[in-house]
Structure 1
Amino acid sequence: MIKALLGLSTMVLASTSFAADYSDDIHKNDYSWKQFNLMYAFDELPGESSHDYLEMEFGGRSGVVDLYGYLDVFNVTSSDSSDKADSDKMFLKLAPRFSLDGMTGKDLSFGAVQELYVSTLFSLNGGQDGTNNSFFGLGADVDMPWLGKVGMNLYALYDKSQGNRNGWNGYQFSANWFKPFKTFDNGSFLAYQGYVDYQFGMDSDYVTATDGGATFQGLYWHSKQYALGYGLKIYKDVYGIKDSSGFKSSGVSHYISATYKF
């Protein structure tokens, strides 16, 4: 999935860098977008799962609210041989951020920091023993050399997953980017897009590794209506699961994607 875009949509990340200014109209930067991605994951970690899935991805801006989210539907071909055949069918992630610049009516930019946010992130799948994570923290849009605008967030995690967790469980740093670097005569372009999620300070009562994470490195072709892409994802003790010979949580996986944009 194109999780590179947590917290910021591709439209925002591809835009020209500037400090936020909402003094005259809080809705002047409003927009929305949505797309469907047909994906296939090869040896996705943890657990080396290979499977297809359909992802509805969406985002936008309305006043002080910056929203990103997606809903994954696994094993859309209903294949009995899929690694997701007997797993939860859906996974939902929502990442609303609330602009401090917009709420205060002040330009809070400084240096490379263009805008500040109160950041939240919610991850859910079906079943009592599934994922149920809520993240709360601060975020920023940061102007980085070559990459341009990068969304960054530092969260604390409240973890109610797997039916036996109910408490604060460490922190997560997240960053995401979208960098067009080659435009063709017909207006289509190539983009380097990706993200990093790194968790640390997790509770050893809940996890077998107190830090770990993943990064997605994607190369995508985009037109106005379509996109095709490949992503390499690199893991290290992802989700606080210690890598072992019995259950792999560190290594690499590969993704391919075909997208239709609305």
Structure 2
Amino acid sequence: MKKVLAGAALAALSLNAFAADYSDGDIHKNDYKWMQFNLMQSVDARIPYGAQDTTYLEFEFGGRSGIFDLYGYVDYFDVLGIDGDDRDNSDNMFMKLAPRMSLDALTGKDLSFGPVQEVYLANVLNVGDSALVDTYWGVGSDIMVPWFGKVGLNFYARYVDENYGADNESSWDGYMVSFNWFKPFYFFDNGSFISYQGYNDFKFGADEIDDQEGYANHSLESFHGIYWHSDRFAAGYGLKYFINMALVEDGDRPNGVLQDTTGFGHYFAITYKF
């Protein structure tokens, strides 16, 4: 965990101190791994095509091994099998994998510049359990930001394989910019701490689907969480703001059903870490 820098000027002077350096040939010196189970309760989550409440179990994991950096999770919705759960008798699974390949480690060269500490080839795979498969292909980076420290910034082009029969299946359609962070900001004497963590995923330019009823060419998911962490446990709350969740147009009425895909959702979590 890096301490908070005194100000923007000091941060700017210290950027290169955290740059990736694999010139010694040891690409595994920064290896690490983590995994955890999160028991989640969502309230008003915009899971297309409307606001839904569900209790779900999430297996979340990540790490670094040589040239590869990985983040991912698998969600199992309606984990308690409650009749009143909005995901009861609906799609129950969602999986996301986000691997990146370090060009610094691959080439053995320091590719850092300005605030950019490491450069990657980046990919995202999203899979729903019914008829959703889309992938994102692009470039990624770790950058140093005052107060936040190291954050991830990635830019992707989107390829749609399956999308519940939408017009953009089997085509390149749109782009995504993603920004994620994890910032411990208050530490207790016992070693536990409070963090501010989250992400912004902005999708745009989905022109292949823009003219189809019920869909939009842009969307936003912006998550902001405050969590307490110890070595084995975590607990916290996240506020998420949606705009046209999953490129589903808010306020449209395809088949006469109102779509509610813009607004705030709430997430409560209890975590066990391995």
Give the structure-2-normalised TM-score: 0.87
Q: Distance in 2 between matches of 1:219 and 1:125?
A: 28
- Do structure 1's residue 258 and structure 2's residue 270 form an aligned pair? yes
> Which aligned runs of 4 or more in structure 1 are off by greater than 4 angstroms?
14-17
In the alignment, structure 1 segments of 5+ residues that lack a partner are: 1-13
In structure 2, give the amino acid aligned to 1:111. Answer: G
Between Structure 1 and Structure 2, whose CA radius of gyration is higher? 2
Give the corresponding residue for 2:83. Answer: 80
The CA deviation string for residues 101-128 of structure 1, in whole angstroms up to 9 with x for no partner, is 011110000010000000000000112x
1:64-213 to structure 2, matched below 5 A, reads 64-127=67-130, 130-160=131-161, 161-164=163-166, 165-203=169-207, 204-205=210-211, 208-213=215-220
- Do structure 1's residue 240 and structure 2's residue 223 form an aligned pair? no
The CA deviation string for residues 123-153 of structure 1, in whole angstroms up to 9 with x for no partner, is 00112xx221100000000100100111010
Identity of aligned residues (%): 51
Partner of 1:123, secondary structure, is: strand
Once the two structures are TM-superposed, the CA of residue 79 in structure 1 deviates from its matched residue by 1.0
The CA deviation string for residues 173-223 of structure 1, in whole angstroms up to 9 with x for no partner, is 001000000001111100000100000100225662111211001000001
Q: Distance in 2 between matches of 1:255 and 1:173?
A: 23
Cα RMSD between the aligned structures?
1.4
Q: Distance in 2 between matches of 1:214 and 1:76?
A: 24
Give the corresponding residue for 2:34. Answer: 33
Once the two structures are TM-superposed, the CA of residue 256 in structure 1 deviates from its matched residue by 0.2
Q: Distance in 2 between matches of 1:86 and 1:172?
A: 31
Partner of 2:260, secondary structure, is: coil
Once the two structures are TM-superposed, the CA of residue 163 in structure 1 deviates from its matched residue by 3.4
Once the two structures are TM-superposed, the CA of residue 15 in structure 1 deviates from its matched residue by 5.4
Distance 1:233-1:260 versus aligned 2 partners, 3 A rule: same
In the alignment, structure 2 segments of 5+ residues that lack a partner are: 4-16, 253-257
Q: Distance in 2 between matches of 1:166 and 1:15?
A: 44
Q: Distance in 1 between matches of 2:211 and 2:231?
A: 48
Once the two structures are TM-superposed, the CA of residue 93 in structure 1 deviates from its matched residue by 0.4
Q: Distance in 1 between matches of 2:89 and 2:45?
A: 16
Q: Distance in 2 between matches of 1:169 and 1:89?
A: 26
Q: Distance in 2 between matches of 1:146 and 1:131?
A: 37
In structure 2, give the amino acid aligned to 1:94. Answer: L
Partner of 1:146, secondary structure, is: coil
Q: Which moved more, 1:143-152 or 1:235-244?
A: 235-244
- Do structure 1's residue 230 and structure 2's residue 234 form an aligned pair? no
- The size of the alignment, in residue pairs, is 247
Partner of 1:163, secondary structure, is: coil
Partner of 2:164, secondary structure, is: helix
In structure 2, give the amino acid aligned to 1:185. Answer: D
